[in-house]
Every structure is written in C-alpha cells, then in structure tokens.
Structure 1
Amino acid sequence: MRNQTSSPSIRRLTAVTDGQLQSLAGLLIDCVEGGASVSFMHPLPAARALAFWRGVADGAARGERALLVAEDAAGIVGTVQVLLDQPENQPHRADVAKMLVHRRARRRGLGEALMQAAEQVARECGKTLLVLDTASDDAERLYARLGWQRCGVIPGYALLPQGGLCDTTYFYRALAD
C-alpha cells in the first residue's frame, strides 16, 4: 500500500480558485512541452492555457462537465474531465477528455486512478457509456488494461505540439451498474 502522505488524492472540483487555475494551466503547459497532442501547439502561452481552464471551470460550475484533479503536496499533478452535457438523444453517454498527468508524477499509477475516478463520477451521474480518443501509445495501453474497447484509428487526425501529423485512436467503455 502506498504511503498516504505521498500518494496524490483525487477530488472533483465544482468551483475552481485562481490558484487552481494557475496549477491547471501549468499542468497543461507541461504536457504540451512534453509532446502531448491535447489540442494545443507549442509554445503554449500561459494566458491561452488559463483561458482554456477558465472555460472548463465555467462548465464545471454549470454541471456540464465533471472536473477531477489529482493533488500531491506540491499541488495539482493530474486531471481528467467527464463531459456530461450531451445531445438529447444521448443522455446515457459522456466523453472523457484531457486526461493529463504532469511529467514529474508519471509512472506511479495516477492515470489509472484518474480514469477509475472518472468512471465512478460517470456512474454517479447516470452514465452507462463513455467515449474517448487519444494520440498517445502509453494512454492506449492504459485504457486497454482498464477494459476500454478500441474502436479504430483515424490517421493524420491532429498535429503534434511541435508540428507533424499524428493519428488518434477511439475507445469506448460500457459501465456496469
């Protein structure tokens, strides 16, 4: 069992403080600098990262999305979102988005813990089907290990932060009651 003082805790934020916005922006910048294809190009200005997280925070406050963060003694080291607000013919479904782990906190089981927390929040919100896409081979292995079903790959779907096309892989997961 992990030492509780060093193990990050995961919680859902419905209101986001300025300090948390700064931490989330730093996390996003770290991931983009590390080469993660997460919708932003390198270099990612802090103002752009903050604007993104302000929008996420607004959506979380309105209940349109669940914003989960993982925190250790130094602050926020990971996050994932469950996009709850779906079209009226898809009330049972949610998308999982922006699963990010700071480079200093990787390879410690944090991605798995964030995904399990995301699935639990989705269940609590009455969702029975989750969908996500990823451009990361590491994330693909994680999702497959957690029971997500691979649907397929779209070649040349997006740009990597430093340029150059990358593929994306779609996954789904049916949630048991």
Structure 2
Amino acid sequence: MSDQVQIEILDAKEAQSSVAALADVLTDCVAGGASVSFMLPLPREHALQFWQGVAEGVARKERVLLVARGTGDEIIGTVQLIIAMPDNQTHRADVAKMLVHRSARRRGVAHALMAAVEKAARAEGKTVLVLDTVTGGDAERLYERAGWQKVGVIPNYALMPDGDFCGTTIFHKQI
C-alpha cells in the first residue's frame, strides 16, 4: 500500500463532517456494481441519509467508523465496526460496509482497512467478528487471504444494484 494512504477512526464530529465524502464513496461503489444494500440509480439524498444515520450511530457509540484517506486527504475508503450487540453477544462485533472508491482499488486500501478494523475491535474488547459479502466477488477473496473463515453461502440472499440476485457468503474471525 502507498505510504500516502492513512487509516483513521472518526469521532462523532468528524463522522458528521464526512457525510458528503462518504456518500461519494458509496455512490461510486454502487455505480461500479457493489451489492452493499443499495440499488441503481442511487439518489445522492439516499446516500447522504445513510451516512447521516451512520454518523448518529457513531455519536451513540453503537459503531466505529474507519476511513482511508488518500494523498489529498480525500476519503477513498471506509469500513464500520458495529459494536452495539445484545447482552449475550457483547464479545462480538459485525464488520459492515467495507467500501473502496474504484479509483483507489488494487493499492492495498481494503487490506489496510481490514487490519485497522480488527485492531479497533480488539480495542473495544471484541473477540469474534462476523461479516457477509457477495459470493464470488473480490472482497470474498480478500477476506479469505486475511484469515477469515467461511461459514457458508446463502443463495439468492440479496440483489445486485442492477436487480440480479446474488448469493452471500458469511465469514467469521476469532481475534
């Protein structure tokens, strides 16, 4: 990865001030075909509302928001750690919305975000992480290379942004 990429955890104020930049990353990823809960066309207002909700979750200490910044300090990637869990699952967290802008891919940004989210999880006292991803996609291979264990595949779990069905692979990692 380029030494010019910095990974950081955003506090509530920083998360709020980054909503527009995060919406840009999300919009780019969905436009590129990423199945991350949104359909095409993705109205900007919808992307902004999503990230506003994430920022509010950061303020409530329900999630940890990490970003990757490029050489111009622009946000080029992000991942979330959902730490608000039921009483019998306080030892685990969900990893969600690992997104890298298409212009920043193949530079190790996703790998750096995943290493940082694991470090953040340890700092939160979490020992089990869970995530899901599109079956057969680049992210699935990334998680396998990073030592995540495949639990299984659910066929036709979600839709791609264009409306086609896709399977979802569930992963976990003991940290």
Answering whether residue 9 of structure 2 is matched by residue 12 of structure 1, we say yes
Alpha carbon RMSD of aligned pairs, Å?
1.3
Using the size of structure 1 for normalisation, the TM-score is 0.94
Separation of aligned partners in 1, 2:73 and 2:90: 37
- Between stretches 116-125 and 73-82, larger displacement belongs to 73-82
One-letter amino acid matched to 1:172 = H
**What residue ranges of structure 1 are gaps of 5+ in the alignment?**
none
1:1-177 equivalence runs, <5 A: 2=2, 4=3, 7-15=4-12, 16=14, 19-72=17-70, 73=72, 75-135=74-134, 137-175=137-175
2:7/2:67 contact within 8 Å kept: yes
Cα distance, 1:62 vs structure 2: 1.3
SS in 2 for 1:115: helix
2:159/2:165 contact within 8 Å kept: yes
Cα distance, 1:20 vs structure 2: 1.3
Separation of aligned partners in 2, 1:18 and 1:127: 25
Alignment CA distance shift 1:17-1:162 (3 Å): same
Separation of aligned partners in 1, 2:28 and 2:55: 19
2:16/2:55 contact within 8 Å kept: no
Using the size of structure 2 for normalisation, the TM-score is 0.95
Give the length in aligned residue pairs.
Answer: 172
